[in-house]
Amino acid sequence: MNGTPHVLNRILVGILGLLMTAAGALLVLLASVPSVAQWWHGWSSDVYQRAAYLAEQTRIPGRQESWLWVAAAAVMVILIVLMVSWLAQQGKGRANLIVADYEDETTPGEVQIGGGVAEQALKAALAGRADLAAVFVATYEVQGQPGLRVRVHPRQGVSPQILAAEISGLVEALDIVVGRRTPVLLHIAGGARARFSKAERVH
């Protein structure tokens, strides 16, 4: 229910992680292996000479600067625009209202119910349960319609089917309160939070 590009984020983080790992490994080798340090000095010197020659051959007529710097600046501007666009996609889809009924011919006035009402109601209903390590509730807008995303971290030994049925019952009660059926995405998560949370017997 979230417009955040999760797959793209994972790809970018993976690429960044590989680059950082490679850079760290290279620094360790340069500091600890003399032959690698000698190779690096020779290679970097050769690269510098080639770059200086290329800059000399690509000077702007009548000036000392190379047009490669202009191209590099243009590439940097494009990268900045792409990064701003990428940041704008993070968390996209959040909504403030869970119900927004506007005036029509039969019912005068306007009724609005904030998403925080539904979020706090579900959190309060699930708070203090011994079978849950954590609960997260957020309101999102999908195809122009508000809905809820419920993410729970059950403790080990908890039946997902029973937990899902109990949460569905709470959502149905919430629908009665707000007077409208609300789309809900229920995510029952596992992982370290559930494994290493304080162990309690579930009755």
Residues 140, 78, single domain; the answer is no
**98 confidence band (pLDDT: 50, 70, 90):** confident
Task: Tell me the average pLDDT of the chain.
Answer: 78
Q: Using one digit for the tens of pLDDT, what is the confidence trace for 60-78? A: 887 878 888 889 899 999 9
pLDDT in tens, 160-199: 888 888 888 888 888 887 777 878 888 888 754 444 444 3
Residue 58 has pLDDT above 50, yes or no: yes
In a domain? residue 151: yes
> What is the extent of the structural domain holding 111?
97-196
- pLDDT tier at 93, thresholds 50, 70, 90: low
Beta partners for residue 100, in sequence order: 112
Q: How many C-beta neighbours within 10 Å does residue 199 have?
A: 9
In a domain, 203, yes or no: no
Average pLDDT on 34-56 reads: 88
**Are 114 and 185 found together in one domain?**
yes
> What is the pTM (predicted TM-score) of this model?
0.46
Say whether both 106 and 185 belong to one domain.
yes
> Is 189 within 8 Å of 158 (Cβ atoms)?
no
Angle at 99 between CA 95 and CA 105, to 5 degrees: 130
Question: Does residue 1 lie within any of the structural domains?
Answer: no
pLDDT, position 21: 94
CA distance 133 to 127: 10
Please name the residues in contact with 199: beta carbons below 8 A apart, sequence gap of 6 or more: 155, 156
Please tell me whether residues 109 and 190 are part of one structural domain. yes
How many domains, in total, are found in the chain? 2
pLDDT at residue 170, as a whole number: 86
User: What DSSP string describes 120-187?
Assistant: HHHHHHHTT-TTEEEEEEEEEEETTEEEEEEEEEEPTT--HHHHHHHHHHHHHHHHHHHTS---EEEE
In a shared domain, residues 44 and 125: no
Do both 129 and 189 map to the same domain? yes
Task: Please identify, among 62, 89, 116, the residue that sits at the C-terminal boundary of a domain.
Answer: 89
